[in-house]
Amino acid sequence: MAEQPSSQPSWPRPARVAAVGSGRSHARPHTLVVRLDSVGDVLLAGPAIRAAAACSRRVTVLASPRGASAARLLPGVDEVVECAAPWIVADPAPVDRVEIEALVAAIADREVDVAMVLTSFHQSPLPTALCLRMAGVGTIGAVSVDYPGSLLDLRHAVVDDIHEVERSLSLAGAMGFSLPAGDDGRLGVRHPLPQVPVTFPARGRPIVVVHPGASVPARGWSARRHRQLVAELGGRLHPVVVTGSGDERELTAFVASGHPAAVDLGGATEDLAGLAAVIAAAAVVVVGNTGPAHLAAAVGTQVVSLFAPTVPAVRWRPWGVASVLLGAQDIACAGCRARVCPVPGHPCIDRVDTAEVVAAVESLLAAGAEQREPDAAEPDAAEPDAAADAPASSTPPSRAQNRGGLRCGRGVPA
């Protein structure tokens, strides 16, 4: 008989969990949530993490170095452990036995009871599960199409075309975790955020943030198109702020030069929390299918999504906020997962005209005008608030021994 996936755990629900071989028993478990890819993926795991936190005495997140900054922003997270997992990250380093052993030791030191391994449809949770088994984690759940042997206690099955948020919440529910009363399952970040470090122009008018960068080149609208967009928005008297990382200063300067009143904040936000504060001050964000799109959703800002269909929009479109999706979602090469577009002219996204984007921005501004607080778009300049980095829990985070500065197994408070 063919072996079938099971969504029924063969272990106690999180109301009472005993880790295998440890002799530990707690009314509420120490739960490890694993999400090993990028910023946006970690932000999309936020509702599932809150569900785990509602049923756990402590939540640790295992994230990649790129995703760790997002994990530290999420409510319900007590500690973040970083690992550049070579079976998940792009451009991975060779597998290193010492680093894998450091990861195993770091998780073992934390005495984790339950692990929820979150992955996308194209990723396998099984290498992670093997490491967690070696660390003594007694209860492990994940979505897996592959036979897990003894690596998983809960092998969960989901349909393919559901959003990443729904996928992770489905696994959380199968593991006995549920969102607390009043939690609507939208994305969210910790508050307070830092105050915006600049004074925005045009008080009284809603701000439009243009974020031209993308984590993957194939997901990006061209710099030329972005500059044209800034020119057109500025010409229609919309205050425009251009954002980007320190590595994108040349890009943001070029894009912002489209209009003399545009504000260039390339490299001006010190961390992800600072970018969240800028986006929270805006009425609309124009952004590709990349982390800041999900950051906008997490702070409740409307999104014009320039969505290159390298991955399905049904799985990664902005979640829980008003949005307009642009891009040729039905193009023949949709779902290619290319990092660099091999088709001349990048037709799935660069054929989107700036007039379409302006129309989408203005439709969202009109729809959101009545709901937006009159002063929400003009924060005063101030120094960042140190309280924004305070952990969600006052429990002091445990720390693993730092084994020679290795990439895996370094724990830091959330």
Cis bond leading into 65, ω under 30°?
no
169 and 250 together in one domain: no
User: Does the residue 199 lie in any domain?
Assistant: no
180-208: average pLDDT = 87
Indicate whether 4 belongs to any domain: no
Do residue 400 and residue 277 come from a single domain? no
Position 374 in a domain: yes
Region 382-389 average pLDDT: 35
Q: Do 369 and 404 have their domain in common?
A: no
* Mean pLDDT, range 204-208, rounded to an integer: 88
In a domain, 8, yes or no: no
- Please check whether residues 271 and 180 belong to one and the same domain: no
Residues 375 and 256 in one domain: yes
**Cβ atoms of 178 and 270 closer than 8 Å:** no
Q: Does residue 194 fall inside a structural domain?
A: no
Contact between residue 88 and residue 61 where contact means Cβ atoms under 8 Å apart: no
Structural domain harbouring 345 = 208-387
Q: 284: which strand partners?
A: 208, 302
Check residues 3 and 276 and name the one with the higher pLDDT: 276
Residue 57, domain CATH? 3.40.50.2000
Task: Please give the distance of CA 103 from its chain centroid, rounded to a whole number.
Answer: 22
**pLDDT on residue 26:** 55
How many structural domains are present in the chain? 2
pLDDT at 220: 83
CA-wise closest residue to 32 among 405, 398, 406, 404: 398
The pLDDT-based confidence of 63 (bands split at 50, 70, 90) is very high
247 and 286 within one domain: yes
pLDDT mean over 176-191 = 97
Return mean pLDDT, the chain: 84
In this structure, are 247 and 137 located in the same domain? no
- Inter-residue contact 90 to 64 (CB < 8 Å): no
Residue 117 lies in a domain: yes
**Residue with more model confidence, 390 or 28:** 28
User: pLDDT higher for 273 or 334?
Assistant: 273
Mean pLDDT along residues 301-325: 94
What does the pLDDT look like over 1-54, one tens digit per residue? 444 444 444 333 333 333 323 334 457 999 999 999 999 999 999 999 999 999
Residues 6+ apart with CB under 8 A from 296: 209, 279, 285, 287, 302, 303, 318, 321
Say if 6 falls within a structural domain. Answer: no
> H helices within 29-139, ranges in order?
39-44, 46-54, 68-71, 97-109, 126-134
Give the distance, in angstroms, between the CA of residue 28 and the centroid of all CA atoms in the same chain: 26
273 shares a domain with 300: yes
Judgement on whether residues 92 and 184 belong to the same structural domain of the protein:
yes
Q: Same domain for 333 and 273?
A: yes
Cβ contact 63:389 at 8 Å: no
Query: How far apart, in Å, are the Cα atoms of 162 and each of 90, 165, 170?
Result: 23, 8, 10
Residue 158 forms part of a structural domain: yes
The answer to whether 154 and 6 have CB atoms below 8 angstroms apart is yes
Q: Do 89 and 238 reside in the same domain of the chain? A: no
Same domain, 49 and 111: yes
409 or 234, which is more confident?
A: 234
What pLDDT, on a 0 to 100 scale, did the predictor assign at position 216? 82
User: pLDDT per residue over 123-166, tens digit each?
Assistant: 999 999 999 999 999 999 999 999 999 999 999 999 988 999 99
